[in-house]
Amino acid sequence: MEKPFNNRAWFMVLPVFIIVAFSAILPLMTVVNYSVQDTFGNNQFFWNGIGWFKELLDLSSELGGRFIDAMFRNFLFSFLILLIEIPLGIAVALAMPRQGWAVSVSLVLLALPLLIPWNVVGTIWQVFGRTDIGLLGWGLTSLGIDYNYVSGVLAAWITIIIMDVWHWTSLVVLLCYAGLRSIPDAFYQAARIDGASRWAIFCAIQLPKMSRVLVIAVLLRFMDSFMIYTEPFVVTGGGPGNATTFISIDLVKIALGQFDLGKAAALSLVYNLIILTVCWVFYTVMTHYESKDGRARP
């Protein structure tokens, strides 16, 4: 049934609108304000127009170079973790038990990393990867592998990618598991009568049924990995050199470290715009899926 049109519904949305606007619009106004000004300290600001944005998007300048490098690292990181987490998540979800106590145990254990504060996740891996006191680092070193995430770029990248896989694959697993659970048994029985292979069942029944949750999984994992801050910051501090400095880390460095408010603000706005664009694309795809399901969504 079509939903009735009623503008009084705004009154019910108003509290949410006010609190989110207070937390989102007011601070963003500050950011916009900073982004067009320059300061020599002492709270004296003067107009700088779009100077910061020009510098940010000019790849030959120091700021622009930093930005494009950090952005490249962000995209590379998101791409790599999606490449690992999505297939791994599907595989683990398919391996989940169907019933009995094992379901509860697996769910609790799987969800555990999701509820660990992000800097504790960083700490866990920082310790785990250390060659002197960590099991992973010690194990790899005694196997004769040259592994040191403090000095080696490759080792640092591998560490933060494994950390992210450890931290977030469970989310993909839980989403896929929920998608799989919604498949009626009749589908499997029909497949068995047809003599379908395991692979055919996966391609023809399970994957299409999971497609909607998979879009959500990709969206969430992309977004959260794109704004990742705490975990790599705790593990590598953005190093070695700038090898694991993502946009967020750079942004906090510029804003709270150097107090270069103008630069930081311009960077924030561009960063936000990128996220907004990607979010919009995914949202459009998602609502498209949902309307295909015949479920009307706002």
Partner 1 sequence: MRGSRFVLVSYIVFLLLPIYWLVNMSLKTNTEITGPLTLFPHELTFDNYIKIFTDSSWYMGYVHAVQYVVINTVISVTLALPAAYAFSRYRFVGDKHLFFWLLTNRMAPAAVFALPFFNLYQAVGLFDTVWAVALAHCLFNVPLAVWILEGFISGVPHEIDETAQIDGYSFPHYFVKIFIPLIGNGIGVAAFFCFMFSWVELLLARTLTAVEAKPISAIMTRTVSAAGMDWGLLAAAGVLTIVPGAIVIYFVRNYIAKGFALGRV
Window 217-256: residues binding partner 1 (CB under 8 A): 220, 223, 226-227, 229-230, 247-249, 251-252, 255-256
Instruction: Map residue 38 onto helix, strand or coil.
Output: strand
Instruction: Number of residues interacting with partner 1: please give it, by CB under 8 A.
Output: 97
**263/26 Cα distance (integer angstroms):** 19
Tokens of 159: 């560490």
Q: Per-residue contact track with partner 1, 79 to 108, x per CB under 8 A?
A: ---------x--xx-xxxx------x-xxx
CA geometry: angle 124, 128, 131, nearest 5 deg:
145
**131/183 Cα distance (integer angstroms):** 46
Q: Which is nearer to partner 1, 23 or 189 (CB)?
A: 23
Q: What is the DSSP letter of 287?
A: H
Amino acid at 18: I
Q: Are 140 and 147 in contact (CB under 8 A)?
A: yes
Segment 133-162, which members bind partner 1 (CB under 8 A)? 133-136, 138
In the block, residue with structure tokens 């998007």: 57
Q: Which is nearer to partner 1, 42 or 60 (CB)?
A: 42
Q: Per-residue contact track with partner 1, 165 to 204, x per CB under 8 A?
A: -x--xx---xx-xxx-xx----------------------
Q: Which is nearer to partner 1, 60 or 143 (CB)?
A: 143
Tokens of 127: 């310790």
**163/119 Cα distance (integer angstroms):** 12
Region binding partner 1 by CB under 8 A among candidate stretches 49-57, 77-85, 119-127, 237-245 = 119-127
Segment 37-56, which members bind partner 1 (CB under 8 A)? none
Judged by CB under 8 A, the residue of 261, 262, 263, 266 near partner 1 is 261
Tokens of 150: 């403090």
Work out how close the CB of 210 gets to partner 1 at its nearest, in angstroms, rounded to a whole number.
10
Judged by CB under 8 A, the residue of 63, 70, 110, 266 near partner 1 is 110
Work out how close the CB of 166 gets to partner 1 at its nearest, in angstroms, rounded to a whole number.
7
Judged by CB under 8 A, the residue of 73, 212, 221, 263 near partner 1 is 212
Amino acid at 82: L
Work out how close the CB of 60 gets to partner 1 at its nearest, in angstroms, rounded to a whole number.
25
Work out how close the CB of 183 gets to partner 1 at its nearest, in angstroms, rounded to a whole number.
11
Work out how close the CB of 227 gets to partner 1 at its nearest, in angstroms, rounded to a whole number.
3
Q: Which residues pair with 37 in a beta bridge?
A: 47
Q: Residue 240, preceding bond cis, omega within 30 degrees?
A: yes
Instruction: Map residue 181 onto helix, strand or coil.
Output: helix
Instruction: Kindly report the three-state secondary structure assignment for every residue of 132-153.
Output: CCCHHHHHHHHCCCCCCCCCCH
**Does residue 6 interact with partner 1 by CB under 8 A?**
yes
